[in-house]
A and B are shown apart, each in its own frame.
Chain A
Amino acid sequence: MKLLTLNFLTCAIKSCKSTPASFPLHPRDAELEIVEADLNILFLKNILPRLMWDELRVIGSELGLPELPSTPPTREDLVEPSTTAIAAPTSDGTRDAGEEEEEEIPTQTAKDLHRVLLETCIKEGKLVCGNCGHEYKVLEGVANFLLPGHLV
């Protein structure tokens, strides 16, 4: 399970939904794994404002990851300042294919964010609710959110 997902998952128990302590779920006895994925700069820009940054930092430190900056990056921090803006048209006047959709070059910040959110995964362990203490087991990266009937 990606840390991205953990930044959105809450305790499934109904009475926990309205209490702030049910988010984020806290990893316990977690075994981490890096699963490489293509960097998707447009996705990062899209998801950035939806992240709960402080909670991401908390989870990161609980997992013993290098400390994240105290404030989230901005969208501008994710792409290298444009260098192609002044590119001249080709001599025969045709536009080359790359020109229509200008390629955005990810910064180191974007790469770091990608690493944390989309490549750092919890492989085994538990996710624990800070409110009710319910433990969701994670096996082979798959968390079990099935609840016994009386907790629904």
Chain B
Amino acid sequence: MSRPEDTLPPDLFYNDTESRKYTTSSRIQKIQSSMTHRALSLLSLRSPSLILDVGCGSGLSGEILSQTADEGTPGGPHIWIGFDISSSMLGVALEKEVEGDLFLADAGQGVPFRPGTFDAAISISAIQWLCNAESSEESPAGRLSRFFGGLYASLRRGGRAVCQFYPKNDEQKKMVSQAAVKAGFGAGLLEDDMGTKNAKVYLVLTVGGGDLDGDITGVVRGMDGVDVMDARRKAARKRGEEQKGSKQWILRKKDQMEKKGRVVKASSKYTGRKRRVQF
């Protein structure tokens, strides 16, 4: 089956007919709902928050964000603002009288909010579209960079974003994650049902500062299958030398610091553990 992303630009693909078909399909409703709940569990919001929904479509996720904690939305009800490039999709959302505010915008053009606006952001099944540039003057890399740059700035310190998306291939997965890291995010990839045709990829993003300290491992600790990405370049290796950043190196440095009378974090089995550096 061909990917819709390869057939038409999103605003043309999601026309009135397709938007209605999409929104009324019980199969799609079910999948989008379960992915939204998954994303919410990764955001771990504890109280009503201001949330951005990127590529909100007809508001399938938004309806869940507006629900109370008792109805299954952690920390809810949240207040959300959604934008989408398809006016037909937004039209369906209006008909459904969703509670969030909606506006028409292209994520590839940026995120027009003042710095630190949102507690969190979600995006379900949308950002793979950024990899298909609509015109010759735009490149996927440029669009991804404007999007993640804008998203990063619009989140408050310690804020988080979770973007579920459908990468076409590994290269696209890497291009998207790399663009997020370049924008300043701490990033991790979570894959559910990996290797099956129902595989779901979640890009988990954190902004430094606040109560999270920007440590992606704070989000993904104890979660199976999350690959933490690291923005720092691999240090050039010199053969035979103790590698900077290695467990051995860290333990030696800690020892040095301790001898100088500094307080150092206790070593554990995680100390210096190799993260899977993706790029």
Contacts and interface: CB of A to CB of B under 8 A. Distances in A.
A binds B: yes
Contacts, number: 86
A11 B105 CA distance: 12
Task: Report, as a range, how many residues of chain A touch the other chain.
Answer: 20 to 34
Interface in B91-122: 94, 99, 101-106, 109-110, 112-114, 116-117, 119
Contact of B119 (A37, A46, A146): A46
A104 B113 CA distance: 31
A26 interface: no
B110 to A, nearest CB: 6
Contacts of A10: 112-114
Given A37-B99, A46-B47, A146 B94 contact: no
B48 interface: yes
B135 interface: yes
Contacts of B77: 38, 40, 43
Interface stretch (B17-25, B78-86, B181-189, B231-239): B78-86
Contacts of A147: 106, 109
Contact of B79 (A40, A141, A145): A40
B49 interface: yes
A128 interface: no
A50 B103 contact: no
A5 B47 CA distance: 19
Nearest to A147: B109
A2 interface: yes
Given A10-B113, A12-B109, A50-B116, A5 B81 contact: yes
A149 interface: yes
B161 to A, nearest CB: 16
Contacts of A152: 109-110, 138, 146
B42 interface: no
Contact of B48 (A9, A43, A140, A146): A43
Contact of A142 (B50, B103, B112, B119): B103
A43 B94 CA distance: 23
B90 interface: yes
A1 B114 contact: no
Contacts of B119: 46
Nearest to B110: A12
A72 to B, nearest CB: 16
Nearest to A1: B101
A68 interface: no
B116 A146 contact: no
A143 B156 CA distance: 23
Interface string A119-143: 0000000000000000000001111
Interface in A24-63: 37-38, 40, 42-43, 46-47, 50, 52
A14 B102 CA distance: 21
Given A1-B101, A143-B104, A40 B112 contact: no
A140 B94 contact: yes
B137 interface: yes
A143 B114 contact: no
Interface of A: 1-2, 4-5, 8-12, 14, 23, 37-38, 40, 42-43, 46-47, 50, 52, 118, 140-147, 149, 152
Given A5-B81, A12-B105, 5 more contacts: A1-B101, A4-B101, A146-B85, A147-B109, A152-B146
12 contacts: A8-B117, A9-B113, A10-B112, A141-B101, A142-B87, A142-B90, A142-B102, A142-B104, A143-B103, A145-B103, A146-B85, A146-B104
Name the 7 nearest CB pairs between A and B, nearest first: A43-B48, A145-B105, A12-B112, A8-B117, A143-B103, A42-B48, A5-B101
